[in-house]
Structure 1
Amino acid sequence: MPRRKSRIVFPPGSCALCHKVENHPLLGDVIEKGDLKFHSNCIFASSGLYQEKTDGRTNREYIEGFHIEAIQREIRRGKSLLCAQCHAPGACVGCVVVSCPSSFHLPCLTKAGGVTIFEGPFPSYCKRHAPKQVCLFITEGLPVYEM
């Protein structure tokens, strides 16, 4: 008897990229456009998306400088990428080290000890390749955000 593919069902109303429903400071604001719903930081961190200048173009075609069709292509691309942390499809955040095959959902990257730098081209790194930083201020008493 042939094996049937198991189908993972994500919560209704969840982000098309990370599949989380909730708002969270790491994930950014929830953006809804037609039948698309995603967190702002999920599109910024996605490896296959690039911001474009939108001078003179209609706001209906772009979200945060990303063309809607490009976002839809990235969602389709992610369906073939399994997350190194949770093993579910849709892992659009890849480590920028070319030789590293690791891909994650944005919240899974953080859980796995990786990091996304939210400036410039928004590079993401798995734990193994993440740049090391020394904290120069006291963090005691500051809120801790768990994923």
Structure 2
Amino acid sequence: MEEVVHTSPTLGSNVEEVVWKNIHFVMWDLGGQDSLRQGWQAYYTNTEFIILVIDSSDHERISISKEELWRMLGHEDLRKASILVYANKQDIKGCMSVAQISKELNLTSIKKHKWQIQSCCAISGEGLYQGLEWIVEQLKNKT
């Protein structure tokens, strides 16, 4: 938030608190490597939102993202969670569009969860606040 941080793939998990518009978000960043995905379930209890970050330039791994998303959606502890999909790296030439990613993930078939897909570029910050704004609106609608 307002700061570019050079990152490397998450090994395990990281937790960070983000304050935006007087709302405190506690976000868990869970590593996506195959060996780590089995442990994701430990974080599902009381989860209100899933933020799935898709590398829009990675055409080969979109099917893995789809498989893992649908596995999460089938978990009882996530039955009330809403989903925000960030289509990241939209600045890279040849990347998948938001429409392509939505089709590849079969988002229109999600009927039991509220969801939103948001194009973004994490480096410039473009689209990040719009995604958080959607979450804020969902929170307002719950009260």
Whose RCO is larger (CA < 8 A, sep 6+)? 2
1 or 2, which has the higher strand percentage?
Answer: 2
TM-score, normalised by the number of residues in structure 1: 0.28
TM-score, normalised by the number of residues in structure 2: 0.28
1 or 2, which has the higher helix percentage?
Answer: 2
**Structure showing greater Rg:** 1
